[in-house]
């Protein structure tokens, strides 16, 4: 026997369309009862607020800067695009390569993984802040003298990681240097010269 349009069951009178509609209504009612719809609405509201502008004061390289930022902006984005400090490089933007390394309160941190708002009240140092007037800082000079770069793109992050490492413990063995610099990648493979530069900068820091 041919079924009527909608493929209804002749025994129950239920059609596929009415069944699906009933399931949808039931699911919506259950979600409303459990507060799921309310939670979704709250999440959407929070997502919208992520684009709101907020006032922020960052202390970078010894100077305070007043900014208006979105709360979702990374420190990397703010340093480069809003403050013009392009020495901090954009690399993987997911905390793997180290090209964006800066010092926050003297500790190496990935700027791409740090929200600008998180850094308020902290001391931020970028590669530009290591200069002594027009002269290179000791670590920068050591990288030049030891030819510790090829393309140079990762070099600012390498130098900032080395600076943070040497501030904690200047007398370092090669093994300690390798471990301390392991969060910074060099696609050109200049690691031998990088480690030599860090070792030389450590000796300079100790006055040898």
Going by pLDDT thresholds of 50, 70 and 90, the confidence category of residue 179 is very high
Mean pLDDT within 162-173: 88
Sheet holding 63-70, edge to edge: 63-70, 53-60, 123-125, 101-104, 107-110
Q: Quick one: 109 and 138 in the same domain?
A: no
Task: Note down the domain range covering 113.
Answer: 51-130
Domain boundary among 80, 101, 130: 130
Kindly state whether residues 68 and 86 are assigned to the same domain.
yes
Mean pLDDT of the chain: 85
The larger pLDDT score, comparing residue 38 to residue 161, is at 161
Residue 203 CA, chain-centre distance (Å), reads 32
The string of pLDDT tens digits covering residues 75-95 is: 999 999 999 999 999 999 999
Q: What is the pLDDT confidence band of residue 154, given thresholds at 50, 70 and 90?
A: very high
Q: Per-residue pLDDT for 48 more than 50?
A: no
Residue 32 confidence (pLDDT) above 90:
no
CATH number, domain of 143, equals 1.10.150.120
The H or E element spanning position 64 is strand 63-70
Would you say residue 4 has pLDDT above 60?
Answer: no
Confidence of residue 47 (pLDDT cuts 50, 70, 90): low
Total domains in the fold of the chain: 2
């Amino acid at each position: 026997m041919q079924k009527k349009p909608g493929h209804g069951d002749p025994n129950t009178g239920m059609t596929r369309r009415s069944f699906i509609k009933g399931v949808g209504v039931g699911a919506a009612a259950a979600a409303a009862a459990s507060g799921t719809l309310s939670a979704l609405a709250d999440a959407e509201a929070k997502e919208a607020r992520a684009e709101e502008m907020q006032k922020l004061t960052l202390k970078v390289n010894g100077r305070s800067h007043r900014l208006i930022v979105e709360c979702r902006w990374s420190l990397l984005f703010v340093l480069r695009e809003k403050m013009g400090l392009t020495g901090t490089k954009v690399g993987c933007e997911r905390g793997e390569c180290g090209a964006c390394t800066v010092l926050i309160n003297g500790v190496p941190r990935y700027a791409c993984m740090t929200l600008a708002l998180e850094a308020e009240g902290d001391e931020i140092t970028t590669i530009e802040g290591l200069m002594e007037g027009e002269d290179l800082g000791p670590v920068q000079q050591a990288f030049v003298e030891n030819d510790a770069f090829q393309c140079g793109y990762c070099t600012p992050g390498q130098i900032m990681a080395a600076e943070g490492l040497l501030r904690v413990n200047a007398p370092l063995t090669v093994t300690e240097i390798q471990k301390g610099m392991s969060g910074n990648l060099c696609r050109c493979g200049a690691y031998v010269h990088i480690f030599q530069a860090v070792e030389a900068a450590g000796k300079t820091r100790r006055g040898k």
